[in-house]
A and B are shown apart, each in its own frame.
Chain A
Amino acid sequence: MKRNVLKKRFFRELKSEFGKYLVIFLFLIGAIGFVSGFLVASNSMLAAYDESFTTYRVEDGNFELSAPIEETLLATLEQEGLNVYENLYLTEEVKETSGRLRIFKNRAEVNLVCLMEGELPMTADEIAIDRMHADNNKLSVGDTLAVGDRTLKISGLVALSDYSALYEKASDMMFDATKFGVAVMTEEGFATMGDTHLHYSYSWRYDTSPESDKEATEWAEKVLALLMSNAMITGNAPVNFLPAVSNLAIQFVGDDMGRDNKMMAVFLYIIIAILAFVFAITISNTITKEALVIGTLRASGYTKAELIRHYLALPMTVVAVAAVVGNVLGYTVFKEVAAKMYYASYSLPTFVTLWNVDAFVRTTVIPVVMMFVINLGMLVRKISLSPLRFIRRDLSKRKKKKALRLNSKMSLMNRFRLRILLQNLPNYITILVGVFFANVLLLFGFVLPPLVDNYEKDITSNLIAEYQYVLKMSTETAVESAEKYSVTALQTVEGKLKSEEVMVYGVAKDSAYIDAEFGDGVLISTAYAGKHGLSVGDEITLEESFGEQTYTFTVAGVYEYPAALAVFMEQQEWNEIFGLGGGYFNGYFSDVELTDLDERLLATKITADDLTKTTRQLKVSMGELMDLFLVFGVAVFLLVIYLLSKLIIEKNAQSISMTKILGYTDGEINKLYVWMTSVVVVVSLIGTIPLVNYIMKYLFAAILADYPGWLPYSVPFAAYIRMAVLGIVAYAVVAFIQMRKVKGVSKSEALKAVE
């Protein structure tokens, strides 16, 4: 049988460049494995999450009334095709977590509970709490909790199907699974907790499910209209109304996983594209080096296709094998890592690993095709020359490459370096792109933690008061330093950004808590101004959450309050606008805790802890991810710079050897060849930071547009310094290796007959 002798070179080439191929192979396995694991885990979990809507009978919406639901309202709703389920809950403070538990009776008909560990409560003094809330507070089955004035034993850890993300309120920017958790008790146990903190909450499911989000929203509007009509008659007004379609506690996981999948796939494609270009440059150099051999083979009758196949074989094999191994690791090791990360953020039910065609296509088919197309394109272009051109080593596509004239007043060394730069432009451009991408990853890793810390500091140093009370109705306190205010929640009108809650405050004229002059117009919080790009003189229109009334205000100033979207005006004006009497108030600002308020009249107590929940959760959910970004960023950086600078040295081995023979010292040669790469790396490192920063700022705003609230993008300068220093330190390792390589270039290299 005839065998293509060229195949024998496959293993020889692999052996001679084993280190290079091993590094690329391992990196590809890491990237493909991680992304595959991520996609497999997220798609499997997403499937389990989607199924949970049916399996666990997740509600189509819920509402809370100020009093128990009337039979008449129930009947009206049922007539409209709604099945309404009582879903009362208690909000109790827990000593061990310094947070709150929302406690439900164990559900039998709607929003069913998934038991993750232990058992469901059997007795009145047992409680099953959310698994993630337990993890975040290091609680386990068998521990006891001081809940309100009761001591309860944790019988099990659960996931509630309507709380896959532990959002306490729909208006929260981020959920806080450390301070807020959900739990279930037996009916008897629930009854023993009293009704001081009882909420009259009801869930509904339609007879037939809406077919789209739009339909779900339209149907929900009808439900709200029914509730409002009922309130007009009975006075039992809805305190809360939340259709599932806009309930972040239900929807957030699905949306977030979808976003993550897209981001991961893009991340992988960028890495594959960079590596494909590294391979393309490597092959291009090999072809230049082996021009005479190629010319001879072509002259002897080898076809272009045979040679293209030959030069494609090794990179394609490396990618294909890495894709297979990466996928195997993805389905085994990395899937667990990704699942752990998701379980650290979300309260998801158990899942079964599903074979995932999408992950296979994204992590195997697309990378292999990308590698194939980029390298094939380069090879077809290179190999298309005539055999004679190869034999004459005349591989330039253009007729004769003219040397660029450089100013001869420039020192020889500088001209030499510039020539190296021009000669290796494709390598250096790939380095620039690689460094840019590595910088994006590094910035993610370096910027988010200080950004979150800064935001936390900003919030705590710009608190209106240590304690902020919202009352169900006016009540007096004996604490003289407490200051009365009025507040209501309105929402922005949906436009480019989703509609979201804005707290509108009416503040005492000479407030001790809000240091501002109120003139014509209103003050808006820095968070509101930042997110909506508002400035003094702009008009804002807000609408009622459960009504049709709209309000338009002119922005008279921006008040330093980063914690939430808020509007501030004088209390008297507020009371007039909202048609309430001059003496009306429904809240207190206070720097000391008000212990004399009747708890039954208290709607909410807001402390610094509540305002910093976003930052806490971001740290928990993104901590590991940030580290991964850093590791991948440094790995991409090292890999690209190492491979390409190695190529530059190899390509110039003969020139380096000749300069050695001429009498140049290793130091001088390093100043030529390694120095140029160093300049490119450092310039790329520092030069791409503004662009990376701009892109991050844009990405950040785009991501936050989907979330309620605002986290200002302000990066401490030290983060950039850290980024640049890490890059330079990483490069120093590569530069050291390259210097050794320069030292290792033998003087006999120049004595070899040039092909």
Chain B
Amino acid sequence: MFIEIKGIKRSFGEGESRVEILKGIDLGIEKGEFCVLLGPSGSGKTTLLNILGGIDSADEGYIAIDGERMEDMNEKALTMYRRKHLGYVFQMYNLIPNLNIKENIETGAYLSDNPLDVDELLKVLGLYEHRHKLPNQLSGGQQQRTAIGRAIVKNPDILLCDEPTGALDYNTSKEILKLIEEVNKKYGNTVVMVTHNDAIKHMADRVVKLHDGRIRENYKNDSKVSATELDW
């Protein structure tokens, strides 16, 4: 198993206000798999994604990536882990506002010894003619494509997507999902995507449904549908 998640527990707050978000998660994801984490608000999917991304830590349990356990990593090692293996895509894009589109993507390329060609990627993303613009001069969909470009330019082993279509309209959402699907196919990255949108489960290899901090369902799709065929 490429990603092994074992007995993960995580709570926030102290005393009476303590809330247990993850109550023991066991999960395995194979290399190159497109995994969708579904669940209502407060089910713990983003918390699990953040622990997987090394930007939050578990109270109990461990995560191992290709056999290497994250709990043994100090802050510096975690930074190197994110640098080498991860790409992150957020709902609100989180682009760096004072860098232009190309430079935002280059911030990802800078971290890799073997990055994809930035200009080529800009063309693939349909952003080449916008490359000198600042993020606030682009639409939400274009900004999210930039964020995806920044995440994949270093060709990461794992692409973590936290509600990547949460702030986008129907058509743009489908465009973005198609892009992620293509990236997954073309570069073979393992994709873990958190979403509210139940329809997205149909394009995943693996669907994990969380409820109240626990996995309610974990199954593999026998057949997937393309992002363009999704409807909600």
Q: Which residue of B lies closest to A655 (CB)?
A: B96
Contact A663 B84 (CB under 8 A): yes
User: Which A residues touch B50, using CB under 8 A?
Assistant: 748, 751
User: Which B residues touch A12, using CB under 8 A?
Assistant: none
> Is B62 interfacial (CB 8 A cutoff)?
no
> Is B111 interfacial (CB 8 A cutoff)?
yes
User: Which A residues touch B98, using CB under 8 A?
Assistant: 419-420, 422-423, 655
Q: Which residue of A lies closest to B82 (CB)?
A: A663
Interface residues of B in 83-110 (CB under 8 A from A): 83-84, 86, 88, 90-92, 94, 96-100, 102-103, 106-110
CA distance A366 to B24 in the complex (A): 65
User: Which A residues touch B92, using CB under 8 A?
Assistant: 753-754
Interface residues of B, CB < 8 Å — how many? 38
> Is B41 interfacial (CB 8 A cutoff)?
no
> Is B209 interfacial (CB 8 A cutoff)?
no
The winner among A394, A419, A662, A753 for most chain B CB atoms within 10 A is: A662
CA distance A655 to B81 in the complex (A): 20
Contact A747 B107 (CB under 8 A): no
Q: Which residue of A lies closest to B93 (CB)?
A: A754
User: Which A residues touch B99, using CB under 8 A?
Assistant: 415-416, 419
User: Which B residues touch A659, using CB under 8 A?
Assistant: 96, 107
Contact A747 B132 (CB under 8 A): no
Interface residues of A in 411-441 (CB under 8 A from B): 412-413, 415-416, 419-420, 422-423
Contact A665 B79 (CB under 8 A): yes
User: Which A residues touch B103, using CB under 8 A?
Assistant: 412, 415-416, 419
> Is B168 interfacial (CB 8 A cutoff)?
no
What is the distance, in angstroms, from A650's C-beta to the closest C-beta of chain B? 14
CA distance A420 to B110 in the complex (A): 17
Q: Which residue of A lies closest to B112 (CB)?
A: A663
The secondary-structure label for the interface of chain A is helix
Contact A658 B96 (CB under 8 A): yes
What is the distance, in angstroms, from A752's C-beta to the closest C-beta of chain B? 9
User: Which A residues touch B134, using CB under 8 A?
Assistant: 401-403
What is the distance, in angstroms, from B68's C-beta to the closest C-beta of chain A? 16
Q: Which residue of B lies closest to A749 (CB)?
A: B94
CA distance A401 to B132 in the complex (A): 12
Contact A662 B106 (CB under 8 A): no
> Is B80 interfacial (CB 8 A cutoff)?
yes
Contact A654 B84 (CB under 8 A): no
The winner among B53, B97, B109 for most chain A CB atoms within 10 A is: B97
User: Which A residues touch B81, using CB under 8 A?
Assistant: 663
> Is A300 interfacial (CB 8 A cutoff)?
no
> Is A400 interfacial (CB 8 A cutoff)?
yes
What is the distance, in angstroms, from B82's C-beta to the closest C-beta of chain A? 4
User: Which B residues touch A393, using CB under 8 A?
Assistant: 136
Contact B82 A662 (CB under 8 A): yes
Contact A662 B83 (CB under 8 A): yes
Indicate which residue in A400, A412, A751 contacts B110 across the interface (CB closer than 8 Å).
Answer: A412
> Is A699 interfacial (CB 8 A cutoff)?
no
Interface residues of A in 115-174 (CB under 8 A from B): none
Interface residues of B in 162-180 (CB under 8 A from A): 162
User: Which A residues touch B221, using CB under 8 A?
Assistant: none
Q: Which residue of B lies closest to A743 (CB)?
A: B75
User: Quick one: CB contact mask for B15-51 with A, threshold 8 Å, 1 for yes?
Assistant: 0000000000000000000000000000000100010
Indicate which residue in B76, B94, B106, B132 contacts A658 across the interface (CB closer than 8 Å).
Answer: B94
User: Which B residues touch A401, using CB under 8 A?
Assistant: 134, 136-137
User: Which A residues touch B84, using CB under 8 A?
Assistant: 663
> Is B199 interfacial (CB 8 A cutoff)?
no
Indicate which residue in B79, B91, B106 contacts A660 across the interface (CB closer than 8 Å).
Answer: B79
Q: Which residue of B lies closest to A654 (CB)?
A: B94
CA distance A423 to B46 in the complex (A): 32
Contact A751 B90 (CB under 8 A): yes
> Is B9 interfacial (CB 8 A cutoff)?
no
Q: Which residue of A lies closest to B75 (CB)?
A: A666
Contact B96 A661 (CB under 8 A): no
What is the distance, in angstroms, from A665's C-beta to the closest C-beta of chain B? 6
Contact A662 B55 (CB under 8 A): no
> Is A325 interfacial (CB 8 A cutoff)?
no
> Is B6 interfacial (CB 8 A cutoff)?
no
User: Quick one: CB contact mask for A635-679 with B, threshold 8 Å, 1 for yes?
Assistant: 000000000000000000011001111111100000000000000
Contact A748 B107 (CB under 8 A): no
Contact B133 A662 (CB under 8 A): no
What is the distance, in angstroms, from B8's C-beta to the closest C-beta of chain A? 18
User: Quick one: CB contact mask for A391-415 with B, threshold 8 Å, 1 for yes?
Assistant: 0011000001111010010001101
CA distance A715 to B55 in the complex (A): 55
Contact B102 A662 (CB under 8 A): no
Indicate which residue in B53, B97, B108 contacts A655 across the interface (CB closer than 8 Å).
Answer: B97
Q: Which residue of A lies closest to B95 (CB)?
A: A658
Q: Which residue of A lies closest to B135 (CB)?
A: A403
Q: Which residue of A lies closest to B111 (CB)?
A: A663
> Is B202 interfacial (CB 8 A cutoff)?
no
CA distance A206 to B199 in the complex (A): 107
Contact B132 A662 (CB under 8 A): no
Interface residues of A in 698-734 (CB under 8 A from B): none
Q: Which residue of A lies closest to B91 (CB)?
A: A753
What is the distance, in angstroms, from A682's C-beta to the closest C-beta of chain B? 22
Contact B132 A403 (CB under 8 A): yes
CA distance A750 to B89 in the complex (A): 11
User: Which B residues touch A665, using CB under 8 A?
Assistant: 76, 79
CA distance A751 to B93 in the complex (A): 10
Contact B107 A750 (CB under 8 A): no
> Is B201 interfacial (CB 8 A cutoff)?
no
Shortest Cβ-Cβ A-B pairs, 3 listed:
A663-B83, A423-B98, A663-B82
Listed by A's residue number, 14 A-B pairs whose Cβ atoms lie within 8 Å are A401-B137, A402-B134, A412-B109, A415-B103, A416-B107, A422-B98, A654-B94, A655-B96, A661-B55, A663-B83, A663-B86, A663-B111, A748-B50, A750-B90
19 additional contacts (CB under 8 A) given A663-B80, A663-B81 = A401-B136, A401-B137, A403-B100, A403-B132, A416-B103, A416-B107, A419-B98, A422-B98, A423-B98, A655-B96, A660-B79, A661-B55, A662-B82, A662-B83, A662-B88, A662-B107, A664-B79, A748-B50, A751-B46
